[in-house]
Every structure is written in C-alpha cells, then in structure tokens.
Structure 1
Amino acid sequence: MSIRSQLFAQGTAASVALALVAAGGAPPASAAGHPAASPPAAIAASVVPLVVPTASVTRYAKTTANLNLRRGAGTRYSSLGVMKKGAVVVRTGKTSGAWWQVRYGGKTGWASSTYLRATGTTAAATPRPSTGSSTRWFAGTQALYTRPTFASKRLQAFTKGMKATTLRTSGSWTYVQAPGSRGWIPTRDLSKTATRYTGSTVLRSSSYRWTRYASNVRTGGSTSTRSLGVVPAGEMMPRLSGRNGWTRVKTSKGVGWIKNTLLTNLATQAPPHLQPVTAKMIKKVRAAYGPTFGSVGTLRNGSIGHRLGTGSDFMMRGWNSASGIRHGNALAAYLVRNRASLDIDYLIWRDRIWLRQDGQWGPYSKGGWGRHLNARGWNATTMHYDHVHVETLVD
C-alpha cells in the first residue's frame, strides 16, 4: 500500500467503537503452513461526517501539510482530527500568537498558521456539482465511496496507475467509472497523467524530505544561526519552503532549516531508526498489551511504511486461538480508540483494514489493497491474521 505520497484525509476524533460479529468461510494457511482461525470478524465503526462548512465567512486558508485541528492554541491541546494537505478551512478571525482559530469538518478548533496559507477560494466550502467526462488515473492506492463524503460506505480500492473515467464532480470530490466499479473519490487523489504501477517501494516526494546524515536543525538558512538540535539520519519530515540551498522543515527538534546537501527527497532504503512518533506508539502499546504479543517487526525492506520507519507489525501470541484473536481485537480497538494521541494512520488485522480518513473497517485482500503482496501469495501472514499491522502518521 502506497502511503506518505498519498496521505489520506483524516477522520474526526470522536470515539469509535468496534463491534465484532463472527463470519464463516475457509481459513487461509499461515506462512508456516498452520491453519488459520476462522475469517475475520466484521468490524463496524461509527463516524461523524467530514464535511467542510458552508458558513458565509470570506476568509479562507489552505493547509500546506497534514495538520492537526486542536482544541486550543498549542500542541499541548488534544487533536480534534487531522486536516489533509490542501484542505480549505474557514478562518474565524481569532488568533493566539502563531495559532489561528478555524472551522473544518463541522468542528471549530485551532491550527498552527505555519502550515496555513491564506486563500480567497471557497470551493471546498460551497460545492458546485458539475458534469463532463475525462480520463484520469489513480494517484495511489485509493478507495471509492458511495457518496462524496468519508462518512459514506467505502467501496473497492484501486492502485496507482489504474485508469478511470470522470463522470461528474461535486466540490472537492469526483464521481468516476473504474474497472468494474463506480464511486466517489477526492479529486486530489486522481492524476491527469498515467503512472504505471511497478510495485516499487521507492518513494519520491515533493512534500517530504529525509536526512541523509545526522543533521543540525537551525533557526535560519545559515551555519551561523543557532541550532535547535541534531536529528538522526533517516528522519522523515514535511518540507515547508526553501531558499539559497537550505530547506525549512518540520522535525522532531522543531521547525527549522537544514542544508540541502544533508537532505534527500528519495526514500529507497530502511532508515537506521524508527520515526519518533512510531517509537512513541510502540512504547505505549507495550505498556498496555505487551504480554499478548511477541516480537514487533519494524525496519526492513518491503512496504514503504517499513522502509520509512512508520510501519510496525505486532506478532500476536497464539494468533489462531480464541484468546489470540481476542487479544488482537483488543489491541486494534485500543489503537482506534487512541488514534489521535498515537497518530495512527491505518491498521490491518485479520484481513480487514481500518482507515483513519473514514473511521471504517473494510475488506483488505478482497478490497483492492495489498497489491504488492500478490507475488508472495495470500496466506496468514500476508492477510495479517498472525499480526496487527500499524502505520503511524507523520504530520
């Protein structure tokens, strides 16, 4: 599954309950040849519709990175949800230092103005349906929806490079005809040019940078400015701007400048460490559910998440037993419940995938996801029966 170059729009921070319902069918064989337990339980989640308000405010702003909408003006306040890069928000006019109060997704909260750019557009706030067809291609692995909102039912997912025909638009959503399925998709997730899917885990990014070496983060674009600290090699960070051979980035040491020769826009191999947000998440999970799982797989070649240090595999003890399934369900529920504080992007468990963008669980192997695993074949490991896969969100 391609992730950071195709970050999902995020759901709200409302509590989401998991309801487990037994399902029948033949179990897959595990990678070790052992029979797996029954197919996954159907997991349902309630979500609050994520719709941009239509208030008659003339001042708008657009996010320049994936950005938390917080309860108060500061990072110490809890998140109400994550606004995807490019989202249009409505400004209320209230400010507190570098923080602006904004309305987004039916909620009013605070966001750092560092990642907001004033705009006059109201397109996202006042959708205008339009018609007309054209050819587009999926920009990454993306799902279709029954209606132009993440609160509607999630349909089949299609991988990067899949051809689609646009049928009509409504605000920031487009209704498309894809092979064997029709549905709505955020317009930003469609490309005007064809990009062939290769299964490659090389990620070239215009929005993110990675440190080549341990690097100083400075207050300005010069070695004569003060250092905020040293970030390790391989850290992933949003790119904010650049000038005179320096790039302004958001790092674990704060927002600052790093010399371009120390950075790369290409992630081709596993970094030498976990991303800080991932390490924090694993520490919390160990404290809460440590006895229920064995090893935790993190850095390795393979999926982009594991290469970037944002992916983790919690290998469940007795995964094919009733207690192992119960423990895995509990761990997954904990992660969904604490998705905001742990910065959870998506989960995969027992052939089901949960996305933060819509708060829903849905089919994994039969839902159009995991195409990169086709060559390995579908078994208890590739279908995630023996482990809970967790991806954290770097924002």
Structure 2
Amino acid sequence: MIVTFGAVGSVAYSASATADPFTVKANGGLNVRSGPGTSYRILGTLPTGSNIDSTGPSRDGWMPISYRGQEGWVSGAYLNAVGAGNTPSQAVPAERGTAYTTARLNVRTGASLSYRVVTVLDKGAKVSTTGVAANGYSQIVHADQLRWVATQYLSQTVPSTPQPAGDGLPAATGSATATAPLLIRTTSGSDFTSVATVPVGTVLQLTGVTENGRTQVIHQGALRWVTSQYLSGTASVPKPPTSALPATTGTKYATTALILRSSSADQFVNHGDAPRGAALQVTGRVENGRAEVIYQGNVRWVTAQYLADSAPAAPSFNLPGLTPNSRALLAAATQQFPEIRTIYGVRSDPIPDHPSGRALDFMTYTNKDVGDRLAAWAQANATELNIDYIIWDQRIWSVARQREGWRFMADRGSNTANHKDHVHITVKR
C-alpha cells in the first residue's frame, strides 16, 4: 500500500497479468528498449510518473508496451501496477445480474480509463453483471470474459426515448431521495438549463429513464433531469445472492482512505475505497497484515494498521488571507471531504485568484474518485457557496457559462498544470 496525503494506491495484481496499467516509478525516467533486456537499443525514455499500459505478458522481468507506434520494452522493476483488473486465472461467476446500457459504452479490461477498450456497446445493450464494482466501474461478463464498464451508464431497465413535458406525463416507476443539493435540469446533456435547486432530503418521482449519468424525474408537472449519483434508492447494478455475513466483534475506524479488498492475499479485486473516518465492523480475523471487516453489507479486507478504536479528528487548516467567501467554501468542503489532507490558498501567481484569497486548490493527487465527487459537489452547490468557476481534470466549469457544461482545456504540459491532481475552485468577490 502506498499512502500519500490520504490517497491510497495499490499493486492489485502481479506483473504477469496482461493489459494492466502501470506508472513509472524510476527517478529520472525509464529507458524504453527495442527488446526485453539491457542489450537492446534504447528507443527513448518515459518520465517518472508516466501512465503506460502493457500489451502482453512480461518476459524475463521486462514489460511490453506501445511506444510511439512501435513495440517497446521497459523493466518491470521500475513500474507500479495500479487499478483493478482481472488476473488470468479469475473464474467467470455462474450467478449474474442484468443491466442495460443507457449510452454507447466502452468495454474495458479493467476498472479505470487507463485500461484498453476491447469493444463499444450500443445504447440499450443487455449486459451480465457480476455484482463487483470498483472506482466507479462495474464488472460484467462479455464474450465469456470479465470486463468493466462505467457504472453511471448502466440501468436496471431498458432505456426508452424521453417523453416531452406537459400533458400525458409517464407514470412514475418509483421514487428516490436527494443525498445532496441537486440541480433540476431541462435535459440530460451539456445543453441544459437549470430551473431550480432542491435541498437534501427532497423526494423525487422517477420515470425509469437514465442518460449520460443523469436520471429523469417528474418535477412540478414537467420532465426534468438530475445527477444520478446524488439519488438514494437508484442502485443501477443488481448484485447476485451473497452468503450470510460472519459475526462481528466490534467497530474500528479508518485513519486514512482504505482499499476494500476481496481477500487478504496480495492478489485481490479492488472494490473501491472506504473514506477516512469510515466505521467498519471487524470480525476479529487478521491475515497477512489485513483485517476482515463488514462494510456496506459486504465482507472485505483492509490494511489492519490503518484501523483505530476511535474516529480520527477532522483536519484543521490555517490558511491566512482568504476572503469570507473562500473561508466559507473551505469550511464546507473540509466537512464534506475529510479525506482531503492538503489544501492551498494564497500564493504568488500571475492570475489574481490565488493572490487575492479567492481561490483554493484541493489536492486529490492520484485519487480521481475524490476529485470527481468534490467537483460535482462544488458544481451542485455553486450558488450557495458563491462559486465563480471550477477547474478539474483538464476541464473548466463556470457559473457564467454553465449552459455549456464542462469545457475541455488545452494541454498545459503536466498533471498539476492540467489540474489532474487537484481541484481548483475560485469564488466570487
């Protein structure tokens, strides 16, 4: 386990697995050679931190990759494996659930954008699910192989064509509760208009239609859309039956974000993270330095040394020079996301946002899930928090141009400059 300011990464599978993503950990960069050994000529170098994807099994400790349109080889000793993929020996389960795609959907070899795409499913395609989820992805069985798709584009019902607002509204198929302040949108796409914001706890009537990660609802006599991830009771992927849970002996608390593992072994399925401060029921079993726990109704394993008898204290940040609006944002964000341990405020910069105290940088480092959730939360609460604009993952969203949704930014040359390791939020004066 590698812990960096609350972000947790892991080597989930052995280097013999194919099509797994890696990052370069060699200081000063890593040579790419024409063959699996130091006697082969050097094709070029990869800088430290580069993301690469293996193209086949390793040979004599060397990993094949695609480099500038040709085959290259890098030493596996200088690579970190990341993400959740499939080991070659992992069996396809007999018991499966069913879901349908709500958009054209990439099918990947693992649970992140770093894994290669093997095919694209059409909207409305029926898929077999295993009940395993990780990093916002769901595991499916496709062509008798374990694959992964983005969970937000799966639904339990066959997607239908949205119906116009007004007379003849469809009958509600169920209801769900808002778990965060929710924008009520006119469409599911980026061309929406915000007609209202409903508070936490609002009960919304559902039509059973989902698109682009958003759920269609009936609001004040019209068909509208809300972000699916902030609704309770709309789990999109059914889980196959599970056996009875083991008895527990007490409660422990995560002192940092913890990977939820399928087993105590070094080879495991990554079921996502339990955030810092999460309460986990322990069974008393400890193997290989990992403790068996019950979390969200499932048996998981976590690194035992990061469990404590009491919940960790909320982080405290002393950032001088902030404006009243940015201080309010800091207080709200740290309460909502205690797993974020590093935040920057006033600093020298040619752009006046940071020097004026109107901007905060929330460092997420390698934890993209936290960045995605923080950016979505800030967008949903932009009015209440007097937010001007948000930059995250090489995209920008602003109140002034919110009808355009998230807009892509030009490549600035590094993860930090492209805002891939932190969420930047600027508030109004």
TM-score range, shorter chain: 0.3 to 0.5
More helix by percentage: 1
* Higher relative contact order, structure no. (Cα contacts within 8 Å, ≥ 6 residues apart): 1
Q: Normalized against structure 1, the TM-score is what?
A: 0.37
